[in-house]
């Protein structure tokens, strides 16, 4: 074991970590980032521990080899400048992008893309197929095969003002039957058929009635149904979840080596545990909201009710419930009143007992009832494992100065995902935003959810991070709601979703302005505008100007996928805005499902494809006319 010193941006010794010697890791990063970007060295033969022990990571910064001042371009809000959009690409890459988008315009090719890729592999053989993919779809949409081979891509992005969000995009290519089998098995408690479980369910339904959306449905057990823009994890066993932790930690290490504390890794909670636990926890949260509505006569969660402990006790006594002392003691509260009905922060405690935590007074029965179905000892242990994995990942991110974005998922998981994420924020976002939650603006309740979470962050004095997206599950959500007979959670129109996105963003910007006006750090709130929609990006920039928020405040960033909407991302980064590319990587044969989804997604946004193709054609013509066919990209931009 060697003692190594870690340096921050000012080259000042920051902390000391231990690292196993690994010449391969050292040499690859040393050569790739020499005199340019910071380097991360870590043991590739030994993944970081998932039990809270010291992680094998270290960062150091090289001195810059250039004395030239960083470039900064004016921003054309029409996003119609081909040179600005593609100056980071070689002429071959511009041509390849045009070919790929032309192929994505073919309905036949897109609708049969997976079959055609498998046929191509069978006809060409392994080596030729891999080469063909690297020359086309893979080369355009994926950065490389592993954390070493993606380094040149990250380096070039950095030189053109763009930062990475890394995602190891290997996906299982399993059949629908296998997906349904796994989901049904992992979403059902082993105690579900017992008399005790039936009694608890009957009790719980006295508060809020039946909530079918929080139970697995065979027709929708394959969660890939009608979803093209999001990755799906299917639970296999606890060992697979542990492997996913290692994969996410590799992403954290790789992104730490490519940024100065500005890197991000995206994480899905369904990769870290049994989906049954998220379903049950989501149901508890929604029943707790129903209870709040019954007690207070309003709607939504308790934080929005301005409820004091005294008022809550009085309302319960008026309903004839007197034995409330233990329940009231367990509520989360501050000087202003009740924040949560339950001690949610205890969820992150690996010793928490879920089965005994979630009890509320039933106004009809005038007694305490349990909202969470009985969990077996094995299931309780599985939940503790999931919490441990989450804590491990965020601690790793904290040590590496990398941010973590928890992805949004289906509405039947999302209440639990959001609650766990907010508790992670409270625990880790004490001096800056490390953990970010994701909000899907196609949902009717998004603005209310964001306002509630902003209020919690303000009350509990932690930094709030949010990624705003339109959403990935709209067709599935509508179909499932119609089939199972519950209210459609989705906004009725595309325009309503745009309005929801803009209203939510405006609320966040208004809160940031309030912070600045009161002399508080503006970065108490951090927002990522993750959108491929030009109008939304323009709206965000104009609102920033109207409210008086500059890119230098470092509170608003923008993000798009690698290989999509380059005409938005690169002009933003080159104009001094905080711009990110979502960077997938992984072996060619193992990212085919990801590539299949990208092709399908591009077919659905034909207008954007047509604009990108037009700009690519213009750039090719410009390079031919100006004699720049052999142009070599060399940027001098510094990401903010």
pLDDT higher than 90, residue 368: no
C-alpha–C-alpha distance, residues 140 and 166, integer Å: 16
Identify the band that residue 351 occupies on the pLDDT scale cut at 50, 70 and 90.
low
Q: Is residue 220 part of a domain?
A: yes
- Kindly report which listed range (136-140, 335-339, 387-391) carries the lowest average pLDDT score: 335-339
Last residue of a domain, one of 327, 356, 377: 377
Q: What is the pLDDT of residues 307-348, one digit of tens each?
A: 788 888 887 787 777 777 777 877 888 888 888 877 776 777
Task: Please report the pLDDT score of residue 366 as a whole number.
Answer: 73
- pLDDT at residue 207 greater than cutoff 90: no
Residues 331 and 193 in one domain: yes
Distance CA 114, CA 228 (A): 13
Model confidence at 374, pLDDT cuts 50, 70, 90, reads low
Is there a domain that residue 364 lies in? yes
User: Per-residue confidence at 362, pLDDT binned at 50, 70, 90?
Assistant: confident
Residue-averaged pLDDT of the chain: 84
Could you give the angle at the alpha carbon of 265 between the alpha carbons of 260 and 270, nearest 5°? 165
Domain annotation covers residue 623: no
26 lies in some domain: yes
d(C-alpha 23, C-alpha 21), whole Å: 6
Please, are residues 156 and 576 in contact by the beta-carbon 8 Å criterion? no
Count of the separate structural domains present in the chain: 2
Q: Which domain holds residue 19?
A: 2-60
Query: Which carries the bigger pLDDT value, residue 259 or residue 408?
Result: 408
Best CA proximity match to 233, nearest among 474, 604, 593:
593
Are residues 56 and 182 both part of a single domain? Answer: no
> What is the pLDDT at residue 4?
35
Q: Tell me, what's the pLDDT at 336?
A: 81
Mean pLDDT of all residues in 429-446 = 97
Please report whether residue 114 resides in a domain: no
Contact 561, 532 (CB under 8 A): yes
E strand or H helix that includes residue 443:
none
Residue 57: what pLDDT?
Answer: 39
For residue 315, what pLDDT is reported? 79
Q: 19 pLDDT band (50/70/90 cuts)?
A: very low
Asked whether residue 217 falls in the same domain as residue 356, the answer is yes
- Rounded to an integer, the average pLDDT of 195-223 is 76
Residue 304 counted as domain residue? yes
Please give the pLDDT value at position 248.
Answer: 94
**Residue 206 domain-assigned?**
yes
In-domain check, residue 612: no
Supply the pLDDT for residue 192.
Answer: 66
Residue 595 CA to residue 118 CA, distance in Å, equals 12
Q: Give the whole-number percent of the chain exceeding pLDDT 90.
A: 57
pLDDT of res. 231: 87
Say whether pLDDT at 454 is over 90.
yes
How large is the average pLDDT for residues 511-535? 95
In this prediction, residues 568-582 reach a mean pLDDT of 97
Distance, in Å, from the CA atom of 17 to the CA atom of 499, rounded to the nearest integer, reads 48
Position 42 confidence tier, pLDDT thresholds 50, 70, 90: very low
Domain boundary among 377, 399, 416: 377
Phi, psi of 524 (to 5 degrees): -65, -20
Which residue, among 236, 446, 426, has the nearest Cα to 345 in the 3D structure? 426
Q: At 23, list the tokens.
A: 């010449």
> 60, 84, 100: which is the final residue of a domain?
60
């Amino acid at each position: 074991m060697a003692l190594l010193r870690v340096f921050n941006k000012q080259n000042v010794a920051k902390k000391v970590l231990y690292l196993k010697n690994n010449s391969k890791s050292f040499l690859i990063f040393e050569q790739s980032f020499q005199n340019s970007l910071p380097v991360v060295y870590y043991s590739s033969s030994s993944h970081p521990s998932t039990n809270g022990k010291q992680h094998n990571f270290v960062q150091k910064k090289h001195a810059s080899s250039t004395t030239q001042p960083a470039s900064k371009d004016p921003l054309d809000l029409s996003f119609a400048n081909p040179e600005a959009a593609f100056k980071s690409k070689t002429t071959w890459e511009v041509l390849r992008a045009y070919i790929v988008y032309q192929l994505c315009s073919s309905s036949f090719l897109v609708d049969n893309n997976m079959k055609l890729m498998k046929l191509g592999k069978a006809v060409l053989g392994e080596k030729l197929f891999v080469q063909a993919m690297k020359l086309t779809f893979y080369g355009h949409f994926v950065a490389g095969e592993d954390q070493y081979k993606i380094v040149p891509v990250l380096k070039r992005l950095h030189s053109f003002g763009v930062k990475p969000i890394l995602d190891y995009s290997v996906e299982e290519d399993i059949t629908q039957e296998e997906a349904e089998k796994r989901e049904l098995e992992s979403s059902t408690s082993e105690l579900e058929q017992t008399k005790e479980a039936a009694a608890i369910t009957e009790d719980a339904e006295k508060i809020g009635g039946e909530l079918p959306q929080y139970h697995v449905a065979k027709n929708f057990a394959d969660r890939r149904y009608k979803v093209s823009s999001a990755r799906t994890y299917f639970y296999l066993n606890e060992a697979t979840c542990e492997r996913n932790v290692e994969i996410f930690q590799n992403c954290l290490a790789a992104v730490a080596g490519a940024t100065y504390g500005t890197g991000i890794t995206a994480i899905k909670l369904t990769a870290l545990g049994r989906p049954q636990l998220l379903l049950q926890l989501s149901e508890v949260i929604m029943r707790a909201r129903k209870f709040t509505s019954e007690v207070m006569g309003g709607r939504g969660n308790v934080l929005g009710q301005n409820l004091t402990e005294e008022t809550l006790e009085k309302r319960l006594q008026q309903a004839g419930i007197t034995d409330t002392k233990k329940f009231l003691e367990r509520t989360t509260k501050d000087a202003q009143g009740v924040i949560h009905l339950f001690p949610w922060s205890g969820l992150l405690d690996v010793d928490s007992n879920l089965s005994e935590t979630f009890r509320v007074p039933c106004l009809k029965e005038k007694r305490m009832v349990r909202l969470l179905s009985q969990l077996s000892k094995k299931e309780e242990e599985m939940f503790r494992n999931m919490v441990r994995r989450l804590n491990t990942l965020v601690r790793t991110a904290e040590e590496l100065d990398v941010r973590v974005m928890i992805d949004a998922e289906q509405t039947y998981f999302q209440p639990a995902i959001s609650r766990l994420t907010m508790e992670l924020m409270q625990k880790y976002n004490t001096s800056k935003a490390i953990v970010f939650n994701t909000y899907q603006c196609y949902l009717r309740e998004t603005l209310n959810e964001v306002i509630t979470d902003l209020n919690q962050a303000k009350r509990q004095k932690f930094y709030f991070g949010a990624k705003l997206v339109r959403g990935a599950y709209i067709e599935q959500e509508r179909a499932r709601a119609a089939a199972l007979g519950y209210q459609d959670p989705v906004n009725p129109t595309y325009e309503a979703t745009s309005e929801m996105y803009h209203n939510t963003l405006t609320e966040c910007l208004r809160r940031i302005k309030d912070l600045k006006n009161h002399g508080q750090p503006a970065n108490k709130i951090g927002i990522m505008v993750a959108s491929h929609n030009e109008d939304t990006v323009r709206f965000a920039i104009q609102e920033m100007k109207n409210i008086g928020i500059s890119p230098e405040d470092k509170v608003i960033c923008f993000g798009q996928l690698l290989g999509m909407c380059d005409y938005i991302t690169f002009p933003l980064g080159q104009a001094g805005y905080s711009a990110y590319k979502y960077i997938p990587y992984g072996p060619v044969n193992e990212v085919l499902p990801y590539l299949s989804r990208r092709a399908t997604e591009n077919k659905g946004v034909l207008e954007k494809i047509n604009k990108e193709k037009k700009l690519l054609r213009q750039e090719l013509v410009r390079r031919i006319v100006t004699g720049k066919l052999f142009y070599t990209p060399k940027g001098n931009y510094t990401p903010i």
